[in-house]
Structure 1
Amino acid sequence: MSIQFQGGVFKLETRSTSYHIKITDQAYLMHLYYGAKIGDADVSCLFPRAERSFSPNPAGYPGRDFSLDTLPQEYSGSGAGDFRLSSLAAGHGAVDLHYVRHRIVVGKPALAGLPSCCAAPGGVETLELELEDPVSGLCVRLLYGVYEADDFFTRSAVIVNRGAAPLTLHRAMSFCLDLPAEPWQLLGLPGAWARERQPERQPLRHGVQGFGSKRGASSHQHNPFFALCAPHTTEHSGPAYGFGLVYSGSYACLVEQDQFDTVRCVMGIQPEGFSWSLGPGEAFYTPEAVLAFSRQGLNGMSQIFHRAVRTHLCRGPWAHRRRPILVNNWEATYFDFDEQKLLALARRAAELGVELLVVDDGWFVGRSSDTSSLGDWSEDPAKLPRGLAGLAEALAETGLALGLWIEPEMVSPASELYRRHPDWCLHQPGRPATTGRDQLVLDLSRKDVRDHVWQQIDSLLQKAPISYLKWDMNRHLTEVGSALLPPERQGEAAHRYMLGVYELMERLFKHYPQVLVENCSGGGGRFDLGMLHYSPQIWASDDTDALERAKIQYGTSYCYPLSCMGCHVSAVPNHQTGRVTSLKARGDTALWGQLGYEMDLALLTEEETAQVRRQCEFYKRFAPVLHAGAFYRLPLPGAPGQLAWGVLSADQRQIFVFHMAPAAQANAPVRLLKLPFAAPGLRYRETSSGCCFQGTTLRYAGIALPPHPGDCVTTLLHFQAQ
C-alpha cells in the first residue's frame, strides 16, 4: 500500500519520497513532511509549539502556543487567524476548515471537465481528505494521487457547498504546501513571444513572490511550472521540488516566505477577476497539480515530470508512436500558394524522406492575409480547386499524408460568421472590443457556440483524410464576458471558456483518435500540462532560429519531455532574428523534438539536400530511442552561453549528446564535457569517430569537445555500447 493511516497520521509514499499529514487535536490538517523517503511517520516534534506574538489562537483553544498563522497546513483557509497566502476564499466571511473524514481508493477519480493524469499503467491510489467549515457548510475534498512507481503526487480540490444558501468562491487554489525554514531558491520559466521559457533562478526573499497569467491562456510570458531548490542544488545533485499545473487558462503560482522563514506555495486558477457561484449541493473542481521531488538535482526532478507526461498525461495511439516528419508551407509560401505550389513542395519533400504536408493559414475562403475570414472554414476554390479531399488524393500519390492548420477559437470581424452572430464573441455590454491580430475570441463557454465550432471541425475531418491537425490560438482574452451569464456570474466566464476549449478537444480526441493534434498558440503560448492531455505535442515556439530554439528547448525541458516539442528546420536568414546559421546546426537542434521543415525545399543545394536526407534518416531510426530515454541537461562551467544536453537510452546502451557553441572564440580553451549518466560497466563507441570509451571515463573524465570555428556551431554525438 502506498497510503497508510495510523495514529492520526497519513503516510503517502512513492518509490523514493514520503508525504506525511497529521490530524491535530483541534481537527486541523497539519503538513508534516514532503521529501526523500523517511521511516518515522509522526514527525510533529520537528514543529515545537511556542507562543508567537500577533499570531492569534483558534476559538476554544486553552493556550497561546497554537496558531494557524504558524501551523504548516495542507489547505489554508482565510480570515480565521492565518495571515499567509490563502488557498480558499468564499462569501464575505472567514473560511476555517476542519478535518471530517477520509477514504483511500484504488485508482483515481476524474475531475469534471478538466484534464488530469490517468491511472494506467503503473497503478495509482488516491487519498481523499474531507474538510468542512462548520459555519458556512463549505466542504473541501482534497485529492492526493500517489504514483508510487513513477515517483510523483497529484493534488487537486473539490469544493462543495453543503450549506442552505448560495456561496461565491473568490479564490480556489489547487494545492497548498508549507516547507520548513531553509534558504530556498525559486526557478521559473519566464519569456515572451518567440522567446519562451527562459530559466530564471533567484533566492526567495521575505514576502510573496510569484508569477502567473491573466491572459486567458498559460501564455508566452510565464509557464505554469516552477521549482524550489537549495542553493547548492545542481543539475545532478541536491534537493529539488517541482510543481506543474495541469491547466491552460489564467493561473497563479505564488510563494511566500514568512516572518519565521518558512515557505508556503500555492498554485491554481488566477484569483484576479475570478469568482464562481455555488448553489446548495453544487461542486467546483480545481485543476490538478503535479508535485515531484528529487535528491538527484534538477535533472532528477525533470525526469520525473517527463515520465509523468509520457506515461500518464499523453493519451491515445500517438502517445508512444514515432510522429511523422512534416513539412509546413507557412515560411515557404505564407498566404501565397495554390494546389500546384503545395504539390511541388510535397514532391520535393517526399524525395528527402518527409512524410506529411501541413497546409497552414490561408487555405479557406477570403483568407489572403491575417485580417479576415477566421470562422469561415471552407476551402478557397481559387487555391484548392479540388478541395482538401482532392489535395489529399494528390498528396497520397507522392507518398505524403495531409495535415491542416485551423484556429477554431477565433473569429475575424470581417467574416460571415461574425456578421451573423456578433454576440458569439467574448464581450462586455457597452464596451468596445479590443482586437488582436484583427480577430476576436469566440465565447466557448456557450454550448451553441461550441456545437457550431465542433460541426466545422467534424465536417473538415469527414470530407478529407486529414491525419494531422495544428490547433492554433493567436490572441489572448480581453473584455471577458458572456452574453448568457447574468451580471453576478461574469467572473466565471474565463474559466468556463477554458472548460469549453477542453470539451471541444475531448470531442476531437474521442471521435478522431487517429488524428495527430499539435497544439499551438503563436508558437509556445499555451505550452502546458493541460494541453498535453489532448495533444501529445506542442509547437515549441514561432522562433526557429537554431540558437534561440536551443535555448527555448533547454528551458522547456525542465518540465516537459522531448517527445512533446514540435521542432522545425527553417530557412535562413531566419525570419524572426535575421541570423544565418548552417543547415547542420538547424537540423541538429530540431532532431531533439518532433522533426519538421518549414522552408522551400526546392532551394536546397546538393550538399544541403544530402544533409536533409541524413537528418530524416537519423530521426526515423533514433527518435523512438531519444524520446523514451532519460534526458539530462549538461552544464559547462566556464563556458557561458554554450548549451549541452544528452539522452541515455532506456537500456543504457546508447548515448546521444548535443552541444552548441553560440560564438567563435579566438585561441579557445579545450572544453571537457562529462556524461555523468554513462553506465560504468559498459564500453561505448562513438559512431562517427570510432573512438571507444569506458563508461567511467565518460562519467568522470569526459570527452573533449571539437573546436568550433564560426558562430552557432553544433556537435551531435552518438555512443553505442560494444
Structure 2
Amino acid sequence: MSHWFLHGPASSLLLSAPEADDLHQAPVIRYWGARLPDAAAPATAWHEERASPPSSLDEGLAPTVFPSLGFGDASQPGLRAHRQGQSFGFAADRYTVTPDERHNSLRIQLLDSANQIEVHIDLRMDASDTLHIGTRLINQGTVPLQVNGLASANLSLPGQMDTVHSFHGQWSNEFQWQCQPLARAQWRQENRSGRTSHQMFPGAVIANTHTGWHSGACYGAHLAWSGNFAQTIDTLDDGLRQWQLGVAFAPGELALAPGDSFDAPTVLASFSPAGRNGLMQNFHATMRATVQWPGGQAAPRPVHLNTWEAVYFDHRLDDLKDFATQAARLGVERFILDDGWFHGRHDDRSSLGDWWPDAGKYPDGLGPLAHHVTGLGMQFGLWVEPEMVNPDSELYRAHPEWAFAAPGRRQQTWRHQLVLNTALPAVQDYLFEKLDALLSTLPISYLKWDMNRDLTQAVGADGRAGYLGFVKGLYALLARVRTAHPNVEIESCASGGGRMDAGVLAHTHRFWTSDNTDALSRVGIQRGALQFFPPELLGAHIGPAPYHTTGRTQSLDFRAGVALPLHLGIELDVRAIEDGERAQLAPWLTLYKSLRGQLHQGAMWLGECGDHIVWQAHGNAQDLIVFTTRTAPTEARHSPPLILPMLDAAASYRVTRLDPPGIGAANAGIDAPMHLALRQGETVQAHGAWLSQAGLPLPRMSGEAVHIYRLQTP
C-alpha cells in the first residue's frame, strides 16, 4: 500500500492511498496524533480492518481528506455546490499525491471528471507540530458553479477526544472559556457577523476529560479568516470525530465562472501530547512565524500610551503636547493619537471617511504634535477606521454608493456609521490614497486600525452578498499599505477583540485584546486569547481607576501586574494621577522593559493553584518568570503552593520576588511564615524536584493581587 507521512517533532499525520476499486478516489486519513515511526504504517487497507455492518453499503466509505456528497458518506461533505440545481455531488475519480523534496508537505489533487470539478489540498507540517491546510476549488466545467459550502479542512480525531473547549463573549468580555462534552449530536458554531466577532472565535481545542494544562492528548484548530465562518464536530459511525472548518457563505455569495478558482482560507491545526500548554506553545510558535515584522524580526515591544480614555474627542494641541511630555518622562515609548483628530470629528456621529486633520484642532496639521512626540524619543502612532463611513461626512455625501445597503430597505447604522464595500477598487484606491498621504508626510510608525461594527445589509454592487468580498478587499488594502510603508506596524482592533485571527495577523502586528481594561476582567480575557496567540501580540494596558467600562476600582499594582506579561501599555491620563501613583507606576514600566525580552520570546505555561489563584510562566526550565494572580479573597487559611512541573527536577534554583513594592498592602503578602513565601526583593535557594512536586509556598495575598517570581538555575 502507499502511505504518506507528515511528521512534526511530537506528532504525525498519516494518509493512505484508496483501494483501486473505491468509488471515491481520495487519500484516506488513517491517523493524526502522537509521533509514529514510518515503520508503523498499517499493512492493511482501511476496509480490511472493518467488518461491513448490516443495512449499509456493501463497500464502506473511508474517512478521506475531502468527503463526498451523495454517495452514502455520512460525514460532512467537503463541497456543497451545484450547476443550476444539477451536478450537486462531488466524488473524486482520480487523484495524485505529490510530496515535496523536504518531506514536510504534500499536494493532493482530486478530480471529479463527471461533475468537472477539481480540488487541490496542500498540507504542510511545520516545526511546531502545526498543520497548515489550504484548499483550492476549480471549476473545470462550461457552466458556472454555485458554491454553498466549502471546507477549508476536514480533520479526523480519535473518538476518545470527548470534550470541546471553545470561546464565547461579547464586547468588553471576549475569549470566555466554555467546555462542552461531545456526544452523538453535532456540535456547531456559525458566525454571521461579517467579522471575526466578539461572540466566538474561529477555532477550538478538543481534548478528553483526562487532559489538563500540562499533560494529556490535545488537538486544536484555527481558521485564518476574518469574516463569517462555521465549524462542526460530528461523531461518525465508527466513533471517530470529524472536525470541519470553513467560510460560512451567504446565499449566492460564491459562484465560480468556467475556469475560475477559489482559495479557501488556511486552517492551522495542531496536536500535542503535553496538554493544553503544549498545544498553546505550538500555536504561539506558528503565530510568531506568521507575523511579517519590519526588518524581518520583532523589535522589543515598546510601552504604549493611547489617548482614547484620557481625552476622547477633546483634542487640544498644547494639552496633547504636555500629555506626551509627561508620558515620555514616565518611560512611555510609543504615543498613539486616538479617535478625534480628523476633519469635523467632534463626536462619534460624523466624519468617518474624511481622513485629513481637522483644521480647527490642528491648524498646521498633525506635524507639530507628531514631531513633538518623536522629538521626545517616542514613536508616533495614529488611530484610523478605514472601512467605515458616517452618513454625515464629506465622503458619504460624495459617494453614498460605496456603502453597503440592501436595495429598497432603510440602512442600518451602528455607532452612527455604515460599512464601506472594500471589494470595490474605487474604495480601496480612495482609502489607500488617504492613508498613504498621512504615512508619507508624517513620522507615523504605527496605525491602530479599528473596526467598530458588524456587517449588516452587506450587498455588493452586483446584488450578491458582500461578506466574502469585504474581507478579501480588506486584506488587499492592508497588503497595499504594508507594501508602500513596510516599516509601519499595524494593530488589528475591532471594538477590542472583534477581529483576532491568523488571517488578519498576516497583515498586522498586534491585537487590541479588549476595550475592557478592568484588570479583573482582563485575567480571564487574556488567558483565553493566550491559548492561540503569544503574549507579545496581545495589547494589555494599565487603565484608570475606576474603569470606564465596568466602574470598578483596583489598585495600580494589580492593574500593572495583570498587564505586564503581555504587550504593555497605558490607557489613562498620566497628567491627572497623583505624584504617589506616578512614582508607583514608573517602576512597573522599568520592570517591563527589563523582562520583555524573555516574556515575549520563550515558551509559556498557564496553570491554577486553587483558592482563586491562577498563574502563568514565561521562559524555560533554566530561567522562568512566574506571575501568580489572586482574583478573589482567600477561602482557606493558607494559600496553596505554586507547583511548576516544567522545572528541572535535578537542578537547584534561585527564587527571587520581582514585583515592585506597592503603597499599602494591596499587592503585598499579608503574612509569610515560611522561608519560601518571599517578600518583594528577597531571594532564596530551592530544589527543582521540590518546586515541581511540592511547590513554592505562597503568602496570603489580598483579594486582587499579583506576585512575580523569577526562578533561575546557577
Taking structure 2 as the reference length, what is the TM-score of the superposition?
0.92
Q: Answer with 652-661 or 410-419: which moved more.
A: 652-661
Cα distance in 2 for partners of 1:543, 1:235 equals 26
Which of 87, 94, 97 is residue 89 of structure 2 equivalent to? 94
C-alpha change, 1:276 and 1:664, in structure 2 (3 Å) is: same
Secondary structure at 1:189 match in 2:
strand
Note if 1:634 corresponds to 2:603: no
Over 3 Å counting, the alpha-carbon distance change for 1:394 and 1:181 in structure 2 is closer
Greater Cα shift, 551-560 or 667-676: 667-676
Say whether residues 1:52 and 2:53 are aligned partners: yes
Which of 192, 202, 209 is the equivalent residue of 1:224?
Answer: 202
Amino acid in structure 2 at the alignment position of 1:648: G
* Residue aligning to 1:80: 71
The equivalent residue for 1:111 is none
Q: 1:34 is matched with which residue: 32, 35, 60? A: 32
Which residue matches 2:307?
Answer: 329
Would the aligned equivalents of 2:95 and 2:111 in 1 still touch at CA under 8 Å?
yes
Aligned counterparts, 1:400-419, within 5 A: 400-419=378-397
| CA-based RMSD | 1.8
Deviates more, 1:673-682 or 1:218-227: 673-682
Aligned CA distance change for structure 1 residues 585 and 378 (closer, same or farther; 3 Å): same
Query: Partners of 1:45 and 1:198 in 2: how far apart?
Result: 43
Q: 2:26·2:66 contact (CA, 8 Å) conserved in 1? A: no
Structure 1 residues 461 and 41: alpha-carbon distance in aligned structure 2, compared to 1, 3 A threshold: same
In structure 1, distance between residues paired with 2:456 and 2:509? 28
Give 1:526's aligned residue. 499
C-alpha distance in structure 2 between counterparts of 1:444 and 1:721, whole Å: 54
- CA shift, 1:83, in A, is 2.9
**Which structure 1 residue ranges, 5 or more long, are not aligned?**
1-6, 57-63, 107-122
**Is residue 690 of structure 1 aligned with residue 663 of structure 2?**
no
Cα deviation, residue 465, structure 1: 0.6
The corresponding residue for 2:158 is 180
Counterpart residue identity of residue 137, structure 1? Q
Do 1:213 and 1:250's aligned partners in 2 also have CA atoms closer than 8 Å?
A: yes
Q: Is structure 2 residue 568 aligned with structure 1 residue 595? A: yes
Q: Measure the CA separation in 1 of the matches of 2:266 and 2:79.
A: 15
Residues 603 and 527 (structure 1), Cα distance of their counterparts in 2 relative to 1, 3 Å cut = same
Q: Does the CA contact (< 8 Å) of 1:684 and 1:720 recur in 2?
A: yes
Cα displacement string for residues 491-511 of structure 1 (whole angstroms, at most 9, x for unaligned residues): 4x2111111000111112222
Task: State the match for 2:675 in structure 1.
Answer: none
- Look up the SS of the partner of 1:704 in the other structure: coil
Deviations 1:271-305 (A, max 9, x none): 44463111222111000011110110110011000
Contact 1:403 1:469 (8 Å CA) reproduced: yes
Matched, 1:578 2:572: no
CA deviation after TM superposition for structure 1 residue 183, in Å: 4.8
Output the CA distance in 2 between the equivalents of 1:624 and 1:387.
37
Aligned match for 1:397, one of 375, 381, 392: 375
Aligned partner of 1:90: which letter?
A: A
How many Å separate the matches in 1 of 2:530 and 2:179? 15
**Stretches of structure 2 lacking an aligned partner (at least 5 in a row):** 657-680
Aligned to 1:112: none
Answering whether residue 615 of structure 2 is matched by residue 644 of structure 1, we say yes
Contact 1:229 1:239 in 2 (8 A): yes
Residue 310 of structure 2 aligns to a residue in which SS? helix
3-state SS of 1:636 partner: strand
The equivalent of 1:345 in structure 2 is 323
Helix, strand or coil for the counterpart of 2:346? coil
CA 1:229 to 1:616, structure 2 compared with 1: closer, same or farther past 3 Å?
A: same
CA distance in 2, matches of 1:180, 1:358: 48
Deviates more, 1:302-311 or 1:81-90: 81-90
Output the CA distance in 2 between the equivalents of 1:255 and 1:315.
35
Cα separation, 2, equivalents of 1:332 and 1:131: 57
Partner of 1:142: 121
Per the alignment, residue 103 of structure 1 pairs with: 98
Q: How does 1:171-320 map to 2 (within 5 A)?
A: 171-273=149-251, 275-317=253-295, 319-320=297-298
Q: Of 683, 693, 701, which residue of structure 2 is paired with 1:708?
A: 701
Distance 1:54 1:74 in 2: 25
Could you tell me which amino acid in structure 1 is paired with residue 616 of structure 2? W
**Structure 2 CA distance, aligned partners of 1:77 and 1:45?**
19
Contact 2:186–2:234 (Cα < 8 Å) also in 1 = yes
Following the alignment from structure 2 to structure 1, what is the Cα–Cα distance between the partners of residues 538 and 447? Answer: 15
- Distance change >3 Å, CA 319–CA 202, structure 1 → 2: farther
Distance 1:455 1:301 in 2: 42
Q: Distance in 2 between matches of 1:320 and 1:696?
A: 35
Paired AA for residue 14 in structure 2? H
- Of residues 512, 515, 524 in structure 2, which corresponds to 1:539? 512
Residue type at the aligned position of 1:257: T
Which residue in the other structure is 1:168 paired with?
Answer: 146
Q: CA deviation at 1:535?
A: 1.3
Instruction: Name the counterpart of 2:663.
Output: none
SS of equivalent residue, structure 1 residue 551: helix
Q: Which secondary structure does the structure 1 equivalent of 2:654 belong to? A: strand
1:343 offset after TM fit, Å? 1.0
Q: CA distance change for structure 1 residues 125 and 274 in 2, over 3 Å: closer, same or farther?
A: farther
**TM-score, normalised with respect to structure 1:** 0.91
1:22, distance to aligned residue in structure 2 (A): 1.3
Identity %: 32
Residue identity in the other structure for 1:719: L
Distance 1:249 1:154, change over 3 A: same
SS at 2:600's partner residue? helix
- Note the 1:480-629 alignment, pairs <5 A: 480-483=458-461, 485=462, 487=463, 490-491=464-465, 493-629=466-602
**Which residue in 1 is equivalent to 2:4?**
10
* CA separation of 1:41 and 1:173: change in aligned 2, threshold 3 A: same
State the SS of the aligned residue for 2:9.
Answer: coil
Name the structure 1 match of 2:673. Answer: none
Q: Contact 2:628 / 2:708 at 8 angstroms: preserved in 1?
A: yes
Deviation sequence 1:214-271 (CA, Å, 0-9, x none): 1111111001121111210011111000101111111111111234432110001014
Name the SS of the counterpart of 2:475 in structure 1: helix
Question: Structure 1 pair 178/714, CA: closer, same or farther in 2 (3 Å)?
Answer: same
State the match for 2:668 in structure 1: none
Give the deviation of 1:28 after TM superposition. 3.2
Matched residue count = 679
Does 2:160 correspond to 1:152? no
CA contact (8 A) 1:18 1:33 kept: yes
Instruction: Report deviation, 1:324.
Output: 1.5
The match for 1:421 is 399
Aligned counterparts of 1:628 and 1:590: Cα–Cα separation in 2 = 17
Q: What amino acid maps onto 2:241 in structure 1?
A: V
Q: Return 382-391 or 289-298, whichever deviates more.
A: 382-391
**1:718 lines up with 2:687 in the alignment:** no
| C-alpha distance in 2 between matches for 1:557 and 1:721 | 27
Output the amino acid matched with 2:115.
Answer: S
Tell me if structure 1 keeps the 8 A contact 2:161–2:206.
Answer: no
Q: How do 1:359-374 and structure 2 match up within 5 A?
A: 359-374=337-352
Q: Which amino acid aligns with 1:612?
A: L
Matched-pair contact (CA < 8 Å) for 1:173–1:266: yes
2:641 matches 1:663: no
Classify the secondary structure of the residue corresponding to 1:625: helix
Deviations 1:628-686 (A, max 9, x none): 0111011224x2x432111124xx43211112212223663321011111233433222
Q: State the distance in 1 between where 2:43 and 2:698 align.
A: 49
- Which amino acid counterpart does residue 473 of structure 1 have in structure 2? M
Aligned residue in 1 for 2:674? none
**For the Cα contact (< 8 Å) 1:162–1:281, is it kept in 2?**
yes
Corresponding residue number in structure 2 for 1:472: 450
* Structure 1 contact 365–377 (Cα < 8 Å) conserved: yes
Q: Counterparts of 1:721 and 1:342 in 2: how far apart (Å)?
A: 46
Offset at 1:72? 1.5
Letter in 2 for 1:683: S
Equivalent-residue separation in structure 2 for 1:200 and 1:269 (angstroms): 22
Contact 1:310 1:319 in 2 (8 A): no
- 2-side partners of 1:305 and 1:331: how far apart? 32
- Partner amino acid, structure 1, of 2:507: Y
